[in-house]
Copies of this chain bind each other. A is one copy, B any other.
Amino acid sequence: MEYVLPLQRLIEKFCTLRGVGYKTAVRYAFSVLDMSEEDAAEFAEALISAKRDICPCNVCGNLSEGGTCSVCSDSARDGSVICVVEDSRAVMAIEKVKEFRGLYHVLGGVISPMDNIGPDELRIKELLARINNGEVREIIIATNPNIEGETTAMYLSKLVAPLGIKVTRLAYGVPVGADLEYADEMTLMRALDGRRQI
């Protein structure tokens, strides 16, 4: 016996979330049935709004509510240092440390031949355009410490270093093979402090 169709559909939708198996999806779906109709409607609106109202920052590619993100529009930030990250999860992870006062550049991924992602699929042109504006003195490459992240770091350093820009890489304080998103704040702080020139 299957669940009633509307419930079955909701269970399948929960299954599409990262790390959710069938039993967990069933539990979540029943949680929704236990909600008030208003709460469910708000949940639905939040889902739609997240897709509709969030767009990449037109400067750095970080998440923003239309236009420029909160980091880029903060005039107190140091525009001479750009921290290059894979995605906005990494921006959030670094922001939590409250140590870095420069700007970001979100690549939107890493070079990964296995997934057919080459340099052209990343926001590298946009990075070079920002560098050519002249204000930038240092690029901190904060891609994840795995093979694809290292490859991307090497690629970027070869591209940017000849322009007379200092190119640094996060120190290997972050555990190799892990995701920036899950590093603790102490580790991230040390990684920022110990960054070294490539």
Could you tell me the distance between the alpha carbons of A4 and B41 in the complex, rounded to whole angstroms?
20
- Judge whether A6 and B65 touch: CB under 8 Å: yes
Q: Which residues of B contact A95 (CB under 8 A)?
A: 1
7 residue pairs, one from A and one from B, having the closest CB atoms: A44-B44, A1-B95, A40-B51, A18-B31, A44-B47, A10-B46, A6-B53
Q: Is chain A's binding surface mostly helix, strand, loop or mixed?
A: helix
Query: Are A40 and B33 also in contact (CB < 8 A) when A3-B92, A63-B7, A65-B6 are?
Result: no
Query: Are A16 and B31 also in contact (CB < 8 A) when A6-B49, A7-B50, A51-B37 are?
Result: yes
Could you tell me the distance between the alpha carbons of A104 and B27 in the complex, rounded to whole angstroms?
21
Could you tell me the distance between the alpha carbons of A13 and B47 in the complex, rounded to whole angstroms?
9
- The count of chain A contact residues (Cβ–Cβ below 8 Å) is 51
Q: In the complex, how many angstroms separate the beta carbon of A104 from the nearest chain B beta carbon?
A: 11
Please name 8 pairs of A and B residues whose Cβ atoms are closer than 8 Å in the assembled complex, sorted by A: A4-B64, A5-B53, A6-B50, A7-B54, A10-B46, A10-B50, A40-B48, A43-B47
- Judge whether A92 and B1 touch: CB under 8 Å: yes
